[in-house]
Structure 1
Amino acid sequence: MLNLEDHREILNQSGLEMFQLVRKQFIKSKEAFLNHDSDLAEEVLHTENRVNGMDLKLDRECERFIALHNPVASDLRFVLALRKINFDLERIGDHAYGISSYIVELDTPVNKEVLDKLEFEEMYKAALSMLDDIRDAYQSGNAKKARKVFKKDKILNKINLNSFSVISEEVQKDPKLIDQYLLLFSVIKKIERVGDLITNIGEEIIFYLEAEVLKHRKKKGPSKPSK
């Protein structure tokens, strides 16, 4: 039987493999969408089965780790965090799949000028930067790097909020392209959701490393005067 440390390292490496696979899927979905590359989009769709298989395998290994070693303290936090990280990575893979499926179904490339107005490439770039930061934070055990994604997520939120007014304006100019604009809005929402999932991963890494729970934390308002 594997000892705890060896088993934990196997889990750690499996987590890194999942990060790498999902990162490749996200990059390919971006290239497929921006270049209207249906062949690359099909590649993402086919690789989704591998993402799902790795997700199930890693989840089972986490359960096995708990059953075999009855971990406590940082070992327990590690395996609990990894299960949630694995879930969030699989969901990021789902969004890459969804974006790529649009390309397979769409006959006409999206207008480059509209993409520029929506800051589409900037949004993708910010999301990928967040994904790289969080992967590095996981690999190096660096909570400070994990916290960087919270600030970058604001970029995605801002572009997402602005997209509605931009798309509304463009639809008024040319109502015949409404289907294309609705598609763009859907893709932007998916990228914004990827940002949310990455911040979830950041919270889990900080929980594992520092035993600090950030989820559902609210900003503290001014204290009430005592009576």
Structure 2
Amino acid sequence: MTDKHISSQFDNELNQVSSHVLELGGMVEMQIRQAMYALSEFNIEVADQVQDTEHRVNALELEIDRELSNIIARRQPTAIDLRLLLAISKTTANLERVGDEAAKIARMVKRIIDSGKARVLPAGELRMAADLAAQQLRKALDAFARLSADDAVAIIKDDDHVDREFDGFVRKLITYMMEDPRTISASLDLLTLAKAIERIGDHAKNIAEFVIYIVKGADVRHSGPDGVESAAR
């Protein structure tokens, strides 16, 4: 077997596992959309769909892990290729955690509905933050598909927008609770939902950092904005 043939097989295996990562990304994006619809409409059936999808997300994560393990065992990749496989593995883990956050939102929605206090909550206030987090994830997946370090840098910079939305929402909730202490319990539930949305944005940022790691070989997880831009050049 020629080296060219081995290289071609390796490329095919990498393309397959990358396609599965993007498939996983599509599944968790759908979970986010469904979770936010369930929250805005207090729809228990859609919340159930989010939780049903969680099982498929977990199964696909395990399949990707098996594929990566098989590639490493069969191909004995070089340091550069091993870096790529490691980043793919970490990207997969972050996508699975996004699915966990969406499922958490769905479970909370069902609990709120069961409690009978659904309409007390100003759930619409969360839409902007949720939309931003979902956009961040979509951009991160696009950056992964194109292996674009420049796009990844833009995503990392934009993460501040999601954080500001979360901070602003927390301030609104504090005012809400101070004006009417009877809403404290409901507001705490909403805070849990807001935190889950913020974490989705964090995972999108993590994926962008791994894209830079794949393309440039630089670990920017604990770098400031200047360090990220410098590494991506």
Gaps of 5+ in 2: 1-5, 228-233
Paired AA for residue 118 in structure 2: P
In the other structure, the counterpart of 1:150 is 156
**Paired letter, 2:163:** N
Aligned partner (choices 182, 194, 212) of residue 200 of structure 2: 194
Cα distance in 1 for residues equivalent to 2:220 and 2:172 = 34
Match of 1:141 among 138, 142, 147: 147
Q: TM-score normalised to the size of structure 2?
A: 0.87
Within-5 A mapping of 1:28-39: 28-39=34-45
CA contact (8 A) 1:126 1:152 kept: no
Q: CA deviation at 1:213?
A: 1.3
The answer to whether structure 1 residue 10 and structure 2 residue 16 are counterparts is yes
3-state SS of the aligned residue for 1:98? Answer: helix
- Which one has a larger percent helix, Structure 1 or Structure 2? 2
Equivalence for 1:109? 118
Q: Where does the alignment leave 5 or more consecutive residues of structure 1 unmatched?
A: 222-227
Amino acid at match of 1:87: A
Letter in 2 for 1:97: A
Q: Contact 2:126/2:169 (CA < 8 Å) preserved in 1?
A: no
Q: Please give the TM-score of this superposition, normalised by the length of structure 1.
A: 0.89
Q: Secondary structure at the match of 2:46?
A: helix
Cα distance in 2 for partners of 1:196, 1:149 equals 10
Q: CA deviation at 1:210?
A: 1.3
CA–CA distance in 2 between the matches of 1:80 and 1:56? 15
Q: Tell me if 1:85 matches 2:82.
A: no
The verdict on how the C-alpha distance between 1:9 and 1:220 changes in structure 2, with shifts beyond 3 A counting, is closer
Is the counterpart of residue 65 in structure 1 residue 74 in structure 2? no
Would you say how many aligned residue pairs link Structure 1 and Structure 2?
218
Moved over 2 A (4+): 107-112, 162-165, 217-221
- Three-state SS of the structure 2 residue aligned to 1:192 is helix
- Could you tell me how far 1:175 is from its partner in structure 2? 1.7
One-letter amino acid matched to 1:109: A
Question: What is the aligned-residue RMSD (CA, Å)?
Answer: 2.0
Cα distance in 2 for partners of 1:154, 1:111 equals 29
Aligned identity (percent) is 27
